Amino acid sequence: MNTIIENGTIVNEGKVCRGSVVIQDDRISEIIFSTEPPRGNYDKRVDATGCFVLPGVIDEHVHFRQPGMTDKGDIESESRAAAMGGVTSFFDMPNTNPMTTTLETLDEKIQMAVRDSHINYSFFFGATNQNSSLFKHLDPHIIPGIKVFMGASTGNMLVDNSRALEKIFQTAAFLNLPVMTHCEDSAMITANMKIAKEKYGDDPDVIHHYEIRNADACHHSSKLAIELAKRFGTQLHIAHLSTAKELSLIDDVEVRKLVTLEAVIAHLVFTNEDYLTKKALIKCNPSVKTAADRDALRRALANGKISTVGTDHAPHLLSQKQGDVVGLLPECR
Ligand SMILES: [Zn+2]
């Protein structure tokens, strides 16, 4: 069986060219860079006129909910959805139940993916206040890195002990394991929540979500993560950057050697004004911010300051995406 995808615009390895891709059985056998229609007999011809032909996408940030929250989704269902959208590899986050914070839970998750995943997979190992001694057993060829929740997004995986944070960054640097952080300062969020409750009542309207989980809380936490990376020489990837203010943290050339930034779909698409119509459907952590923040993120993506995009795909039941700031969800994301 041979197939040709013709007349498309091929985007690959820094090049953008018109051409055709030939697939023999399940392998790409030839890429023809030419605007001429290719000759030859093909069992199937796909006309890609007006389309981009892209390599399989790596989604570096997903929450596929298995184990423990499979009423929302699981590795089989979500990897199938990913494949339908052109995603051929995913990196899953450790805030499942049980959490991926031990070697056993990591291994169990890998075995689930061996059995159930339709596409390539890898799993972040979750850091806690106590588990950095396990890092030496992790293989950087198998996992993408260590995920550190430096904000109270997800239950008890919050790393809020400064000694533990230092140990995590130091140990990861020594072992050449990248660290990916969720940066929001919990103390600042708690203080903002207190003020909001005084002003608006016990469960403030969701339109105030971005004032509680605000830009300063993100900036303060990202700054701390970068200081730790610089101190220990840790390769740091800051997940789901949501503010213009944080972008200036990597202006320095030396910092850019160690620190990379991720944007996710919610912050590239929505702004705080969308809370009025979409309510808690767009409630996520870090919160979506202002139009100025969104526009700055888009510019940073266009000019390369933000180097990766993840979906942060994190399914919930519709009934769980109701309510206001306090809301129904025990865990977000
Ligand atoms: Zn996430």
3-state secondary structure 91-144: EECCCCCCCCCCHHHHHHHHHHHHHHCCCEEEECEECCCCCHHHHHHCCCCCCC
Q: pTM for this structure?
A: 0.92
Same domain assignment for residues 64 and 175: yes
Same domain assignment for residues 42 and 66: no
Sign of CA dihedral 86, 126, 138, 231: positive
3-state SS, residue 83? helix
User: Could you give the CA distance from residue 228 to residue 146 in angstroms, rounded to a whole number?
Assistant: 14
- Among 23-37, 120-134, 209-223, which is the least confidently predicted range? 23-37
- What size, in residues, is the chain? 333
Joined together, the tokens standing for residue 276 give 């009025």
Letter for the amino acid at 329? L
In this prediction, residue 154 has a pLDDT band, given cuts at 50, 70 and 90, of low
Examine residue 257 and state whether it is found in any structural domain, yes or no: yes
Same domain assignment for residues 252 and 139: yes
In tens, the pLDDT along 289-299 reads 999 999 999 99
Examine residue 198 and state whether it is found in any structural domain, yes or no: yes
Residues 21, 29: contact at Cβ < 8 Å?
no
User: Could you give the CA distance from residue 112 to residue 76 in angstroms, rounded to a whole number?
Assistant: 9
Nearest to 6 by CA among 53, 43, 41: 53
Q: What is the DSSP letter of 332?
A: -
Residues 21, 10: contact at Cβ < 8 Å?
yes
Same domain assignment for residues 13 and 145: no
* CA 328 – ligand 1 centroid, Å: 18
Q: Indicate the burial class of 52 (C-beta count within 10 angstroms; 0-12, 13-18, 19 or more).
A: exposed
Same domain assignment for residues 141 and 46: no
The residues with which 91 forms a beta bridge, in sequence order, are 122
Examine residue 136 and state whether it is found in any structural domain, yes or no: yes
Average pLDDT of the residues in 276-280: 95
**Which residue is listed with tokens 């000019």?**
303
In tens, the pLDDT along 39-95 reads 788 999 999 999 999 999 999 999 999 999 999 999 999 999 999 999 999 999 999
Residues 148, 165: contact at Cβ < 8 Å?
yes
Examine residue 38 and state whether it is found in any structural domain, yes or no: yes
In tens, the pLDDT along 188-212 reads 999 999 999 999 999 899 999 999 9
CATH of the domain at 28: 2.30.40.10
pLDDT value at residue 153? 54
Question: Known catalytic residues?
Answer: 312
Examine residue 271 and state whether it is found in any structural domain, yes or no: yes
CATH of the domain at 255: 3.20.20.140
* CA 10 – ligand 1 centroid, Å: 30
* CA 183 – ligand 1 centroid, Å: 11
Quote the domain boundaries for residue 6: 2-53
Residues 6+ positions from 246 with CB-CB distance below 8 Å = 183, 215, 218, 219, 222, 238, 261
Q: What are phi and psi of 260, to 5 degrees?
A: -120, 160
Same domain assignment for residues 157 and 291: yes
Residue 5 has pLDDT above 50, yes or no: yes
* CA 170 – ligand 1 centroid, Å: 23
Same domain assignment for residues 16 and 71: no
What is the chain's mean pLDDT, rounded? 93
* CA 145 – ligand 1 centroid, Å: 14
Same domain assignment for residues 31 and 127: no
Last residue of a domain, one of 53, 71, 91: 53
Examine residue 30 and state whether it is found in any structural domain, yes or no: yes
Joined together, the tokens standing for residue 109 give 């998750």
Give how many domains the chain has, as a whole number.
Answer: 2
Examine residue 333 and state whether it is found in any structural domain, yes or no: no
Same domain assignment for residues 133 and 12: no
Joined together, the tokens standing for residue 105 give 């839970």
Joined together, the tokens standing for residue 273 give 């004004």
Last residue of a domain, one of 19, 35, 53: 53
* CA 62 – ligand 1 centroid, Å: 6
Letter for the amino acid at 192? N
Q: Indicate the burial class of 221 (C-beta count within 10 angstroms; 0-12, 13-18, 19 or more).
A: buried
Examine residue 175 and state whether it is found in any structural domain, yes or no: yes
Strand-pair category, 236-238 with 259-264: parallel
Same domain assignment for residues 182 and 277: yes
Q: How many CA atoms lie within 13 A of 107 on its CB side?
A: 5
Same domain assignment for residues 181 and 251: yes
In tens, the pLDDT along 209-233 reads 999 999 999 999 999 999 999 999 9
Same domain assignment for residues 101 and 126: yes
